[in-house]
Amino acid sequence: MVPAVIFMKKEQLTGILQILAATLIWGCAFVAQSVGMEHIGPMTFQAARSLLAVLTMIAVIPVMDRDRTQFRSKWQDKALWKAGILCGLALFAAQSLQQMGLQYTEPGKAGFITAMYIVMVPVLGLFLGSKCGARVWVSVVLAVIGLYLLSCAGVAKINLGDVMILISAVAFAVQILLIDRLAHSMDGLRLNCIQFIVVTVLSTVAAFTAETPSLSAVLDSALPIAYTGILSSGAAFSLQILGQQKLPPEPASLLMSLESVFAVLAGWVLLGQTLTMTETFGCALVFAGVILSQTKANNA
């Protein structure tokens, strides 16, 4: 038996890099989400960012299409629309609960609770017939402990926002599993566009039902909306889909949990925030869990 080392095909490495790029974008987006709600409600913010994501995808897809002759036929794929609608419903539930929960809870605790999808993905997968080895479960435990130390060590109070974000983590886990089950052979860019069409429609209805949207307020939040719409929603969720097409859902979700690490590191690099020893140790544990999830023991 040789020590566990990282073995991966070129396709797997590409998938890892795509998901890492997505988590880096998401990690830097948390500030934009919080700042964006200074002028508008959570559903208005979500509707605006989602609409911008759809417009971005509509502009990008024709450029990325290699075979222009199949442009229209690709949009007529019924399986693609079914998968996109299902993923969109899960994503709408996840993002809505997260966005609203951010109004009631601390950012660090919200990040930790959201990342609990790394536990829920393998647990829900068991009900769908998937099995995980001991290595994956050890990776999950390391990542959970690390995320707790990184995000909310010493925080004991639970409030309404925490509950909402915990439910959103379940919805994120469902969306991850739906992509794994439905999207392996599909056009990832079109799938992302369709899921955000669903989020846009539902968020717009919710915004006009529960809030009072105004163009001036939306313009006041233009920069946060631009970042979360173009990069976080348009680019990062496309990268998530493309990356998941090359990786199993459990290690993919562990890679996505690095969002919390990147958020802390972005605050350290960009805002001059300091890391405590506890937070540094938490980062190390999350990284250890992610690395372990990508390793395989091989017989000599």
Instruction: Assess if residue 73 is contained within a domain.
Output: no
- The pLDDT value given to residue 160: 79
Residue type, 297: A
The Cα–Cα gap between 23 and 38 comes to 24
The residue segments making up the domain with residue 154 are 6-31+42-62+96-295
- The pLDDT value given to residue 300: 36
How many separate domains does the chain show? 1
Give whole-number Cα distances, 123 to 31, 117, 126, 132, 140, in Å. 30, 9, 5, 9, 11
The Cα–Cα gap between 161 and 166 comes to 9
Q: What is the pTM of this model?
A: 0.81
Highest mean pLDDT among 14-23, 110-119, 196-205: 196-205
Q: What are the tens digits of pLDDT across the range 219-268?
A: 999 999 999 999 999 999 999 999 999 988 878 887 887 777 776 666 66
- The pLDDT value given to residue 4: 41
Instruction: Assess if residue 138 is contained within a domain.
Output: yes
The answer to whether residues 34 and 221 touch, using CB atoms and an 8 Å cutoff, is no
Q: What are the tens digits of pLDDT across the range 5-52?
A: 344 577 888 988 999 899 888 877 766 777 777 889 989 999 999 999
The Cα–Cα gap between 158 and 132 comes to 31
Instruction: Assess if residue 90 is contained within a domain.
Output: no
pLDDT band at 3 (very low <50, low <70, confident <90, very high): very low
- The closest of 249, 123, 117 to 180, measured between CA atoms, is 249
- The conformation of residue 230, written as its DSSP 8-state character, comes to I
The Cα–Cα gap between 59 and 80 comes to 19
pLDDT band at 278 (very low <50, low <70, confident <90, very high): confident
Between helix 188-210 and helix 42-64 the angle, nearest 10°, is: 160
- Across all residues in the chain, what is the average pLDDT? 81
Instruction: Assess if residue 149 is contained within a domain.
Output: yes
- The pLDDT value given to residue 266: 65
Give whole-number Cα distances, 7 to 13, 123, 244, 298, in Å. 9, 25, 18, 9
Give the tokens for residue 181.
Answer: 């089950």
Instruction: Assess if residue 83 is contained within a domain.
Output: no
Instruction: Assess if residue 84 is contained within a domain.
Output: no
Is residue 11 exposed (0-12), middle (13-18) or buried (19+ Cβ within 10 Å)?
A: exposed
Greater confidence (191 vs 10) lies with: 191
Q: What are the tens digits of pLDDT across the range 121-147?
A: 777 777 776 666 677 777 777 777 776
The answer to whether residues 1 and 297 touch, using CB atoms and an 8 Å cutoff, is yes
Give the tokens for residue 252.
Answer: 């993919």
Instruction: Assess if residue 214 is contained within a domain.
Output: yes
5 has which bridge partners?
296
Instruction: Assess if residue 75 is contained within a domain.
Output: no
How many CA atoms, within 13 angstroms, populate the side-chain half-sphere of residue 49? Answer: 32
Q: Over 80: is that where the pLDDT of 148 sits?
A: no
The arithmetic mean of pLDDT across residues 110-130, rounded, is 73
- The pLDDT value given to residue 260: 72
Give whole-number Cα distances, 203 to 88, 89, 233, in Å. 11, 11, 14
